């Protein structure tokens, strides 16, 4: 039994008053692993729900394999169900196939080849055998144990009820159940959430070994690079959503070349628009400027005037038509990449030290013997969850007391992007919050819209109505627009599209002052140019 393709044609989906997907098509053939990327709200999760059949498009069609698994769905188990119940459910089809093969084998052995029922039994046996081979049914129980161990659940008793598991453990169990089941088509929404490095690497290996269709949405650039054979970018582009062949590294190179082409086209069109406006208002009315009429022209002036006026009229009409057409269809200016604005550079003391820690301790959360930060430092703080990364940043920011010595240069300005972002007035719009926090002069010098962190439609939304990711990007915008001398970023690439995360990393390299980043982002960590402190 061959694996089937997953096909979507001209999908349109409107949520509220916003058209999230507008004519999106997708062909996912067996063996292809397609990554969906784009800013939050670009439609990644919406597209996955349409492909899975848990949501219906306003128009368009989806043809999907019957054997499809979708990670985003809630597991159909209550809190008293056990891990064993989840695994038994995942392996039910494989065990059914094996039991049916045993029954058919016995029936064939008991039936003479010349019996009228024999061909039907043989056909049913062949079909069931193909199905069992496709899903590797004989290896299902061993595969389930390998998957549980690979995702960090191997040490948990199978009798453990789901209600006693953490949210991250339940998410990993749902993923393990899908991998053990091996459906013909697998749809995954942010599958590396709650995975450490080892579990993420294990998942990558598992997905690369699947023969069927995989479509996934992820912000994890290292995961996209390791797994995907194709990427579909749902962020705004000149010609709409675009499919790129290759992994994330290939996408980066093509995206950079595409932006150069977009910028060149924009500049050429703007130049042509200027020329056309000039032609319509001035040039088209000048047939032979600055030249006196000859006598022969004076004698036939009336006839020549008519001819000249016709010529002017044709030129004006032609220029006007082209101007109207270009004004309607011109491409918009490419969004500006994220940059740190020019600001004061960090002051320097005699030894260039901005801040130093000695024998710092926060009971149960952080112990650190020594740390010195210079005026141009780039420090990456890494470590497992609970190692104290966020605690260290809070101590550096002066928001958390600790025993030991914490010495800051006099007048040092510090900014912290925390994982939880709360603004004082939830009723103020994002634009009002930005302008009031920065002050009129700075907000005018670095308008919110130029940073590419918040869509124009969201800038007039009260901050209390923004998503968690949108509020974090607004907080990041405030730091980018007026950077402090010491910038502290706690998991800064969370809630950013891969493109914005790339631009943030580029901005970190050129920003003024010292920067300390705490991150689990494997892509960022593998390319970090500065020092690293592992807790």
Rounded CA gap, 397 and 511, in Å?
18
CA 398 → CA 359, 490, 534, distances in Å?
A: 16, 15, 21
- pLDDT bin (cut points 50, 70, 90) of residue 178 is very high
In degrees rounded to 5, what are phi and psi of residue 526?
A: -70, -15
Q: What is the CATH number of the domain that holds 199?
A: 3.40.50.300
The rounded distance, in Å, linking the Cα atoms of 143 and 275 is 67
128 and 155 inside one domain: yes
Q: Classify residue 189 as exposed, middle or buried by CB count within 10 Å of its CB (0-12, 13-18, 19+).
A: buried
Both 60 and 83 in a single domain? no
pLDDT at 345 (0 to 100): 39
Question: What local confidence, expressed as pLDDT, does residue 346 receive?
Answer: 39
Whether residue 283 sits in one domain with residue 233: no
Task: Place 348 in a pLDDT band, splitting at 50, 70 and 90.
Answer: very low
SS3 270: helix
The average pLDDT across 385-389 equals 85
| DSSP conformational letter for 25 | E
Give the per-residue pLDDT at 439: 92
* Calpha distance 371→404 (Å, rounded): 12
Top mean pLDDT of 35-44, 126-135, 400-409, 442-451 is at: 400-409
Does 377 reside within a domain? yes
**Residue written as token pair 């699947």:** 210
pLDDT at 339: 64
Is there a domain that residue 102 lies in? yes
Number of domains in the chain: 4
Element (H, E) at 275: helix 248-281
pTM: 0.77
pLDDT of amino acid 305: 57
Residue indicated by tokens 């670009």? 42
Cβ pair 56, 174 in contact under 8 A? no
Helical residues (DSSP H) of 162-247, grouped into ranges: 167-181, 197-208, 221-227
Instruction: Name the residue range of residue 407's domain.
Output: 353-534
SS3 of 71, please?
Answer: coil
Asked whether residue 237 falls in the same domain as residue 369, the answer is: no
Instruction: Indicate if 396 and 488 belong to the same structural domain.
Output: yes
Is there a single domain that holds both residue 131 and residue 8?
Answer: no
Q: Are residues 62 and 82 in the same domain?
A: no
CA 472/CA 418 separation, integer angstroms: 8
For the chain, the residue count is 535
**pLDDT recorded at residue 239:** 66
Question: Is 432 within a domain?
Answer: yes
pLDDT (0 to 100) of residue 72: 76
463 and 397 part of one domain: yes
Judged against a pLDDT cut of 90, whether residue 341 lies above it is answered with no
Q: What percent of the chain has pLDDT over 90?
A: 38
Under the banding of pLDDT at 50, 70 and 90, the label for residue 284 is low
Contact at 8 Å (CB) between 487 and 350?
no
Among 42-56, 328-342, 447-461, where is mean pLDDT lowest?
328-342
218 domain-assigned: yes
pLDDT bracket for residue 3 (50, 70, 90): low
Q: Is the pLDDT of residue 414 over 70?
A: yes
pLDDT, tens digit (0-9, with 9 covering 90-100), for 294-323:
555 555 555 555 666 666 677 777 778 877
Nearest to 36, CA basis, from 187, 146, 182? 187
Is residue 335 included in any domain, yes or no? no
Segment 6-27, tens digit of pLDDT: 999 999 999 888 888 888 999 9
With cut-offs at 50, 70 and 90, classify the pLDDT of residue 458. Answer: confident
The answer to whether residue 387 scores a pLDDT higher than 60 is yes
Asked which of 131, 163, 195 is the last residue of a domain, the reply is: 163
Q: What is the DSSP letter of 163?
A: G
Residue 324, in any domain of the structure: yes
Does 293 have pLDDT greater than 80?
A: no
Q: pLDDT class for 416, splitting at 50, 70, 90? A: very high
Minimum mean pLDDT range among 169-173, 270-274, 440-444? 270-274
Q: Is the separation of the CB atoms in 73 and 194 below 8 Å?
A: no
Contacts 24+ apart (CB under 8 A), 19-26: 20/46, 21/46, 21/47, 21/50, 21/57, 22/240, 23/60, 23/240, 24/60, 24/234, 24/241, 26/51, 26/215, 26/232
pLDDT tens digit string along 470-484?
888 899 889 888 888
Rounded-to-5 percentages of helix, strand, coil across the chain:
45, 20, 35
- pLDDT of residue 241 exceeding 50, the answer is yes
Q: In whole angstroms, what is the distance from residue 67 CA to residue 134 CA?
A: 11
Q: How confident is the model at residue 349 (pLDDT cuts 50, 70, 90)?
A: very low
**C-alpha–C-alpha distance, residues 170 and 305, integer Å:** 85
Q: Please say if the pLDDT value at position 469 is more than 50.
A: yes
The 10s digit of each residue's pLDDT in 484-525 is: 889 999 988 887 788 888 888 887 876 668 899 999 899 999
Average pLDDT over residues 377-387: 88
Q: Within its chain, how far is the Cα of 13 from the centroid?
A: 19
Q: Is-contact 413 485, C-beta < 8 A? A: yes
Burial class (CB in 10 A: 0-12, 13-18, 19+), 504: buried
In the prediction, which pLDDT does 373 show? 92
State yes or no: pLDDT of 342 exceeds 50: no
User: Domain for residue 177, yes or no?
Assistant: no
pLDDT bin (cut points 50, 70, 90) of residue 33 is very high
Ramachandran angles phi, psi of 316, nearest 5°: -65, -45
Does 276 or 237 have the greater pLDDT score?
Answer: 276
Task: Please tell me whether residues 394 and 513 are part of one structural domain.
Answer: yes
Q: Note whether 460 and 515 are same-domain residues.
A: yes
**324 shares its domain with 394:** no
Q: Which of 176-190, 209-223, 319-333 has the lowest mean pLDDT?
A: 319-333
Whether residue 106 is predicted with pLDDT greater than 80 in this model: the reply is yes
Q: Which residue has the higher pLDDT, 310 or 396?
A: 396
Q: How confident is the model at residue 343 (pLDDT cuts 50, 70, 90)?
A: very low
At residue 333 the predicted structure's pLDDT band, cuts being 50, 70 and 90, is confident
Place of tokens 């940073």: 451
**Mean pLDDT of all residues in 170-178:** 92
Instruction: Give the whole-number percent of the chain exceeding pLDDT 70.
Output: 89
Determine the pLDDT at residue 311. Answer: 65
466, 356, 474: which is closest to 418 by C-alpha? 474
Query: Which pLDDT value is given to residue 299?
Result: 52
In a domain, 196, yes or no: yes
Checking if the pLDDT of 188 tops 60, the result is yes
Q: Are residues 118 and 205 in the same domain?
A: no
Backbone CA torsion sign across 374, 376, 382, 387: positive
**Cα–Cα dist 476/523, whole Å:** 20
- pLDDT > 80? residue 442: yes
**Tens digit of each residue's pLDDT (9 = 90 or more) over 190-240:** 999 888 899 999 999 999 999 899 999 999 999 999 999 999 998 766 566
């Amino acid at each position: 039994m061959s694996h089937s393709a997953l096909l979507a044609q001209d999908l349109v989906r409107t949520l509220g008053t916003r058209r999230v997907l507008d004519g999106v098509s997708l062909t996912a053939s067996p063996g292809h692993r397609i990554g969906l990327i784009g800013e939050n709200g670009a439609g990644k999760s919406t597209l996955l729900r349409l492909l899975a059949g848990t949501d219906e498009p306003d128009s368009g069609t989806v043809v999907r394999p019957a054997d499809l698994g979708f990670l985003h769905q809630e597991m159909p188990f209550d809190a008293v169900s056990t891990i064993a119940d989840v695994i038994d459910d995942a392996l039910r089809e494989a065990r059914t196939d094996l039991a049916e093969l045993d029954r058919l084998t016995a029936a064939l052995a008991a039936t003479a080849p010349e019996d009228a029922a024999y061909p039907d039994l043989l056909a049913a046996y062949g079909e069931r055998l193909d199905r069992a081979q496709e899903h590797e049914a004989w290896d299902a129980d061993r595969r389930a144990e390998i998957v549980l161990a690979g995702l960090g659940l191997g040490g948990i008793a199978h009798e453990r009820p789901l209600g006693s598991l953490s949210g991250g453990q339940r998410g990993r169990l749902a993923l393990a159940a899908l991998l053990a089941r091996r459906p013909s088509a697998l749809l995954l929404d942010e599958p590396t959430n709650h995975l450490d490095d080892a579990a993420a690497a294990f998942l990558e290996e598992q997905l690369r070994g699947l023969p069927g269709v995989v479509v996934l949405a992820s912000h994890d650039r290292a995961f996209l690079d390791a797994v995907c054979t194709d990427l579909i970018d749902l962020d705004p582009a000149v010609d709409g959503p675009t499919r790129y062949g290759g992994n994330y590294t290939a996408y980066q190179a093509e995206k950079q070349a595409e932006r150069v082409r977009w910028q060149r086209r924009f500049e050429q069109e703007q130049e042509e628009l200027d020329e056309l406006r000039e032609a319509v208002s001035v040039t088209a009315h000048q047939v032979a400027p600055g030249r006196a009429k000859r006598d022969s022209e004076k004698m036939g002036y009336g006839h020549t005037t008519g001819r000249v006026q016709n010529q002017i009229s044709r030129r004006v009409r032609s220029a006007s038509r082209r101007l109207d057409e270009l004004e309607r269809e011109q491409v918009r200016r490419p969004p500006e990449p994220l940059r740190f604005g020019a600001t004061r550079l960090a002051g320097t003391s005699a030894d260039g030290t901005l801040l130093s820690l000695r024998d710092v301790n926060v009971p149960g959360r952080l112990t650190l013997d020594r740390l010195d930060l210079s005026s141009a430092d780039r420090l990456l703080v890494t470590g497992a969850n609970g190692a104290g990364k966020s605690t260290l940043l809070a101590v550096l920011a002066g928001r958390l007391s600790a025993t030991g010595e914490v010495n800051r240069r006099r007048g040092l300005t510090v900014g912290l992007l925390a994982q939880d972002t709360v603004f004082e007035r939830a009723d103020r719009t994002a634009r009002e919050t930005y302008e009031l926090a920065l002050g009129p002069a700075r907000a005018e010098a670095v308008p919110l819209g130029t940073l590419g962190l918040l869509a124009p439609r969201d800038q007039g939304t009260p901050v209390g109505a923004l998503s968690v990711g949108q509020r974090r990007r607004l907080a990041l915008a405030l730091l980018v627009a007026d950077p402090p001398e010491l910038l502290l970023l706690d998991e800064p690439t969370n809630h950013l599209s891969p493109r914005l995360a790339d631009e943030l990393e580029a901005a970190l390299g050129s920003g003024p002052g010292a920067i300390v980043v705490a991150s689990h982002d494997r892509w960022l960590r593998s390319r970090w140019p500065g020092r690293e402190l592992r807790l």
